[in-house]
Amino acid sequence: MTWVETLRAGAEAVRAHRMRSLLTMLGIVIGIASVILTVGFGQGAQQQVRDEIDALGSNLLIVSPGSSTDSGGMRGGFGSATTLTLEDAAAIGDDTAAPDVRRVAPTTSSSASLTAGETNWTTSLVGTTPSWPDVRARSLASGRFFTADEVASGAPVVVLGPDTASELLGLGSPVGQTVTIAGQRLTVIGVLDSSGASESGGSEDDQAILPISTAQALTGATSSSVSTIYVEAASQATLSAAYQEVQSLLATRHGVTTTDADFGISTQESLVETANSTNRTLTVLLTGIAAISLLVGGVGVMNIMLVSVTERIREIGLRKALGATPRVIGRQFLVEASMLGLAGGVVGLLVGVVGSWVLPPLIDQPVTLSALAVGAALLTSLALGVGFGVYPASRAARLTPIDALRSE
Amino acid sequence: MSATTSTPPIIGLDGVRKTYRTGSLEFEALRGIDTAIREGEYVAVVGPSGSGKSTLMNILGCLDNPTAGSYLLAGEDVSTMSEAQLAEVRNRRIGFVFQQFNLLAGLPAWRNVELPLVYAGLPRQERRERAVAALERVGLADRTAHRPGELSGGQQQRVAVARALVAEPAIILADEPTGNLDSRSTADVLDLLDGLHDAGRTIVLITHEHDVAGRASRNLVIDDGRIVSDTPTARAGVPA
Ligand SMILES: Nc1ncnc2c1ncn2[C@@H]1O[C@H](COP(=O)(O)OP(=O)(O)OP(=O)(O)O)[C@@H](O)[C@H]1O
Ligand SMILES: [Mg+2]
């Protein structure tokens, strides 16, 4: 019996018990679909983090107050402690103390309600210095950024993110208009370009940037503490040198050692790493669960194949009487199990692909399908069918013709 | 018998015994069968229920192994063969007709008939032609696409006969092929077997009925696992 015939016979048997085949496949369908989706979510989330962090700027060091420098640089007292000051930022900006630092942008951040006419919009308020657009690699869509003089004088000016501008001021030109923050009237002097971070542009494109002195006056802050100091290294090559310089400079200034520092420095790499490692744990966990459901699906295939062997025992006996060798019989059941597995994989893949279109807008999470995941899913489903088909197939192959024929 | 003595035995049984074990119980269903069947013979095996006829038939058909004794099929010792070799022997040399018909309910008549050819490795087109030709021989040319459930009992058994003869085996083994049939269908099936006998096939037929046994050329009477009589019938002289 040729392979083509065996395949045809297998397909026939699968079709002959359509409902049962579908139910058998269901376990594998669910397993494959969930593997595809969880891996897709994991990769989508990683891509999202990547974009978000790339959008921060390039060759960037992020100095935040609070816990010591570790890979968890994003946790701890990010923005909450008050150990960093404007003077720290000025020191880092000094060319002799930190020669590998190109630019520094200290920032304060808070949340505030902006009013323009009848419209209210709550967004994050960022107080900073004129170097911010360069350090954060942001450009202006219209108008201009504020100057050092305006920072020195605490001028009532503000630069809006594109989303903030359109929410607050509609479609007209925002530059020259007035917005009110905490009773203080500020003139809009510029609007930022979109950050370009595809999925996560939201927060980067919705903020109000103003001179750090103006921001402090608005929020009633008296100290010169800042929530984050963005430091741009001269180049990718000098990023780690700049890191060392900033670290030792701040340690000296704060009178602490680098091991029990009251500030943290993150690089983009470390941020990506941190975000990805939490992500990865979740993905591994979910994929593990999906893999277990695949295993259960495989056991389902085995179960049904055993039922099928028992049910068709007379058929097997007859085929053997007519000249089917044990190998031919075994192969037929193995092919049948493999077809169930593969068919389950294909259907599961379709469900996964459809899910990757339908789900992201609903749950606001991107899903990235990779060819690797698709290929692996198909191979896995085939392997499951073959793997769990071996035992039922060998049971069928070993039946003696007379016992099989005689059974009722 | 003079017409057949010159041909070599196609089936040779020597001291064949079969013991069934059910738990600790042993039952000897065959207690030393010695006989030879020559090519072209038409042998009817008769005997009371439980005497061991089906057991003997299963051994002749290589579906079961004797517990002791030797079985030479066309001169070859069957006991030394592997399952795969036995499958090939069944496929090439033997055609079975069962009391229960044993057709596959899901397949149309012609696909039931082609099964031995499938395992013989013939191409699809040739299988189909030969299966249809075999169905024509049993008078079912207009029923090739019917499934067993759409055929009468007699027609189903004729499909089974077509399946038994489609691979042109030397031996046809029939275990009470007419046991489930009315007299009309019985006559049809027996006529077909007669035709096969006339065409030179060796036929071993198990039956309860005397008139059925009378169509054979030789009657083997079995009782309690032994051959108690072995006689040519009135038809023995009719040349094959
Ligand atoms: N698989 C088996 N296990 C145990 N005993 C068996 C088995 N098959 C047959 N027997 C016993 O062997 C004896 C012969 O059985 P067999 O089927 O050969 O009889 P038979 O002559 O064909 O009878 P019948 O005319 O009723 O079909 C019976 O007593 C039966 O109970
Ligand atoms: Mg019997």
> What's the pLDDT tens digit per position in A144-179?
999 999 999 989 999 999 889 988 888 788 898 999
Query: From the CA of B228, how far away is ligand 1's center (Å)?
Result: 17
Question: Both ends of chain B: CA-CA distance in Å?
Answer: 11
Region B207-216: mean pLDDT is 89
Overall number of domains in chain B: 1
In a domain, A61, yes or no: no
State the pLDDT at residue A202. Answer: 56
In a domain, A387, yes or no: yes
In a domain, B1, yes or no: no
CB A26 within 8 A of CB A198: no
* B58-82 pLDDT tens trace: 999 999 999 999 999 998 999 899 9
Q: Which ligand is nearest to the CA of B208?
A: 1
Cα–chain center distance at A357? 16
Overall number of domains in chain A: 2
Q: Which domain holds residue A323?
A: 3-52+274-406
Beta-carbon pairs below 8 A across chains A and B = 58
In a domain, B91, yes or no: yes
* Same domain? A184 vs A284: no
Which whole-number Å values give the CA distances from B117 to A260, A405, B126, B130, B175, in the listed order? 84, 20, 9, 9, 22
Residue B96 to residue A319, Cβ atoms within 8 A = no
* A51-60 pLDDT tens trace: 777 777 778 8
Q: Which two tokens stand for residue B164?
A: 């038994």
Nearest residue to A348 (alpha-carbon basis) of A368, A367, A376? A376
Query: From the CA of B55, how far away is ligand 1's center (Å)?
Result: 6
Q: Which residues, judged by CB distance below 6 Å to any ligand atom, belong to the binding site of ligand 1?
A: B 20, 22, 27, 29, 47, 49-55
Specify which of A31-35, A185-189, A241-245 reaches the highest per-range mean pLDDT: A185-189
Say yes or no: A15 contacts chain B, CB-CB below 8 A. Answer: no
Residue B118 to residue A325, Cβ atoms within 8 A = no
- Kindly report whether the global pTM for this prediction surpasses the value 0.90: no
In a domain, A47, yes or no: yes
In a domain, B82, yes or no: yes
Say yes or no: A405 contacts chain B, CB-CB below 8 A. Answer: yes
* A257-286 pLDDT tens trace: 877 788 888 887 777 777 777 777 887 888
Boundary of a domain, candidates A261, A295, A325: A261
- Residue whose CA is closest, atom 25 of ligand 1? B49
Region A4-22: mean pLDDT is 86
Say yes or no: B154 contacts chain A, CB-CB below 8 A. Answer: no
Considering only the C-alpha atoms of chain B, give the largest distance between any 2 of them, rounded to a whole number of Å. 52
Say yes or no: B90 contacts chain A, CB-CB below 8 A. Answer: yes
* Same domain? A128 vs A46: no
* Same domain? A280 vs A169: no
* Same domain? A289 vs A392: yes
- Residue whose CA is closest, atom 3 of ligand 1? B20
pLDDT band at A405 (very low <50, low <70, confident <90, very high): confident
* B169-204 pLDDT tens trace: 999 999 999 988 899 999 999 999 999 999 999 999
Alpha-carbon torsion B45, B50, B56, B58, what sign?
A: positive
In a domain, B14, yes or no: yes
Atom of ligand 1 nearest to the CA of B27: 5
- CATH number where B120 lies: 3.40.50.300
Q: How far apart (Å, rounded) are the C-alpha atoms in residues A288 and A399?
A: 37
In a domain, A74, yes or no: no
Residues of chain A with C-beta less than 8 angstroms from the C-beta of B90 = 320-323, 401
